[in-house]
Amino acid sequence: MQLAFIKCHGSGNDFPLIDARGMALDDAQWAGIARALADRDGPVGGDGLLLLTEGSGAAAFGMRMFNSDGSEAETCLNGLRCTARLGFELLGIDHALVRLKTSVAEVAREAELAPGVTTVRTKVGPASIAAADVGLTTGDSFIDAPIPGLPDARAFTAVAMPNPHLVRFVDAVDEAELVALGNWCESGPALLPARANVSFVEQRGPADLYVRTFERGVGLTDSCGSAMAASVLAAGLTGRVAFGQEIRVFNKGGLVRGRADAERNVTISGNATFLYDASVEVNAAGAIAQPPLIHARREDEARAWEEAVSALA
């Protein structure tokens, strides 16, 4: 099948984005398309596949996100910004409610983070701290506390954004340790049968966080929007940053601005950058994609983001 898509990124988290409204494909087909298009060694590559879907009720449109392995995530906040931008442009609006897999989110255009950098604000929540909602099969909740059965005895904060996150604050990120724990969670152990995202977070100032994430279904990634949101919330829940205070959140892909409140709502503002418009032939059953035909490159947007990131270095 021939599919049109936009290659986009939020904080370096890159995706093919498809306007899937009115497309009658089943979950198995979308999973195969995700494996084909989000294969990092394939002709397109990405951290997952984003779908703009029909709205319902008060939601102007919806979003689905499939990971690189074909599994579907509850949300993806970096991807949500990009999907929201496409929805805004197609529907001629500047703010909306968005229907996600198991929840809804508020999205709105916002003043540019930097010149030429299209910026979108997302608000999700209230997030859950119930262990069962995070997918843990033990305990009631874990806030800056060890999780029995986890192969890491140090303190974690477990939150559902609604996708599951385990957040640990560290003096310095040890990527090998993060990958080892992420791989353990990825195996679907009895403690976490549905797996979880794992983040190590450095607090680099009163309101600056650096986040490194092993993303469920993806692996070690330069950026994960829901992990950044979970880290902002964890900073508030553990008293590291006051609720209501704006936080700058950095990762290898760039930065976002974030804020959490005492009701466990989290607001994230960041870029929604479109890189190019293309079409591609995909065999969904075989999860195989041909080289894409690129129709237009958004070089000004790519350059604006690169300049913004360079200014932070």
Average pLDDT of the chain, as a whole number:
94
Same domain, 293 and 236: no
pLDDT given for residue 9 in this prediction: 95
Amino acid at 15: F
Residue 61 lies in a domain: yes
Tell me what the mean pLDDT of segment 207-213 comes to: 95
Same domain, 208 and 241: yes
Residue 96 lies in a domain: yes
- pTM for the model: 0.84
Q: Which residues are catalytic?
A: 76, 224
Residue 69 lies in a domain: yes
Which domain range does residue 145 map to? 131-264
- Interval 1-16: pLDDT, tens: 999 999 999 988 899 9
Q: How many domains does the chain have?
A: 2
Same domain, 258 and 276: no
Same domain, 175 and 242: yes
CATH number (domain holding residue 145): 3.10.310.10
- Interval 145-203: pLDDT, tens: 999 999 999 999 999 998 999 999 999 999 999 999 999 999 999 999 999 999 999 99
Same domain, 259 and 301: no
pLDDT given for residue 312 in this prediction: 65
Same domain, 179 and 248: yes
Same domain, 196 and 307: no
pLDDT given for residue 3 in this prediction: 97
pLDDT given for residue 113 in this prediction: 85
- Interval 227-264: pLDDT, tens: 999 999 999 999 999 999 999 998 887 889 999 999 99
Same domain, 23 and 69: yes
Residue 122 lies in a domain: no
